Structure 1
C-alpha cells in the first residue's frame, strides 16, 4: 500500500540565502521530516520495532533526537552542566530501550523533543557567528563551532530520517520524498 503523506507542510530551505540561513533552513526541514514521519500514529505504531534484534522504532528515534538536541545545544553550545536527557553510562541506549508502547511515553517524547528544538532554535538565534565555539568542548573532538554542530545535526537527522522512512513504510505503507 504505498501511500504518500497528505499535506506535506515542511518548509523548504531557502534556495538563495547566506550560509547561516541555509543551514538553519536545512535543519528545520530535517526536523519537520521526522515530525511528519511520526505523525498520526498511536503508541503501538510509534513503538513498533524495525526487525529483530534491533530496538529501533519511530518512538526511539524521536526520543534519540530529543537527547541529541539536548546534548549538542544545551550541554555543548550553551555549556549547561547537566546530565544527558535519557542516556547514561549505565544505559547508553535508554532512548531506544525506553521506547515502549504507552501513551504517556509517546506524549513525553513529543514534549521533550519540541522543548529541545525550541531551546536550540532560540539559542542559535542568539549566537552571532557560525564560528562561535560551544561553551563546553565535546569529549571526543574538543571545541566545536556552531557551524559544525548545525551540519552535524543535519547529518544526524538525515541519517535517522532514512530509518524513519523504512519504519513508517513498514507500519502503514506511507512513503515520502
Structure 2
C-alpha cells in the first residue's frame, strides 16, 4: 500500500489552501500507522488509551460525521449507523481493537473518498465557504457550522491527531521521520 502525503500549496485560493492542508494531514496520520503490525496499532502510550488503530477509526468517523452527515445531510452509514454510542461515547476509538491495519486504513480511505465527493458536490452547487452546512445544529449548542468552519475544523482535527500519532509511533518503534 502506497500512501501519499502531498505538501500543502504555498499559493492557492482559500478552498484550495484548506483542502491541501487537509490532504497533507490525512496523509501524515495514515503514514504514521503504515508499516506497523496489527498488535502495534493497538499499543498505547500511557497514561493515554489512544492507539493508532483507534485514531484511524476515529478519523473515519469524523470524516463521515462532518462531510457526509452534516454537510451533505446523509444518514449515518455502517458502521456508524449501529454503533452503541450510548454505551460508549468513545466507541470509534475503542472498537478498533482487534481490527487489522488493512481494515482500519481501508475504512479511513473510503471515508476520505466519500468526504471528498460530498465536498466536491457542495462546492459545485455553491462555492461560497460562508454558507451553512445542510444539517443545522441546535442553536443552543452554538448554531450551524459553515462549510469554511468544517474545513478548518477538519484541518485542526487532523493536525492535533498527527501530533498524537507522532508520539505514539515513536514510542512503538522509535520512528521519527515517518
Does 2:25 match 1:66?
no
After superposition, the CA RMSD in angstroms is 2.1
Tell me what 1:3 maps to. Answer: none
TM-score, length of structure 2 as denominator length: 0.86
List runs of 5+ in structure 2 lacking aligned partners: none
CA distance 1:87–1:124, change in 2 (3 Å): farther
Report matched runs for 1:68-87 at 5 Å: 68-82=62-76, 85=80, 86=83
Tell me what 1:57 maps to. Answer: 51
Tell me which of the two structures has the higher relative contact order, counting C-alpha pairs closer than 8 angstroms and 6 or more residues apart: 1
Tell me what 1:134 maps to. Answer: 133
CA distance 1:102–1:90, change in 2 (3 Å): closer
TM-score, length of structure 1 as denominator length: 0.86
Paired with 1:87 and 1:95, the residues of 2 have a C-alpha distance of 10
CA distance 1:144–1:87, change in 2 (3 Å): farther
User: Aligned residue pairs: how many?
Assistant: 168
Deviations 1:20-70 (A, max 9, x none): 100000000010000110111110011111114x32000011011001111
Question: 2:6 aligned to 11, 14, 26, which one?
Answer: 11
Q: Give the Å deviation of 1:126.
A: 2.1
Does 2:24 match 1:24?
no
Q: Give the Å deviation of 1:101.
A: 3.9
Q: Give yes or no for contact 2:19–2:151 (8 Å, CA) kept in 1.
A: yes
Tell me what 1:146 maps to. Answer: 147
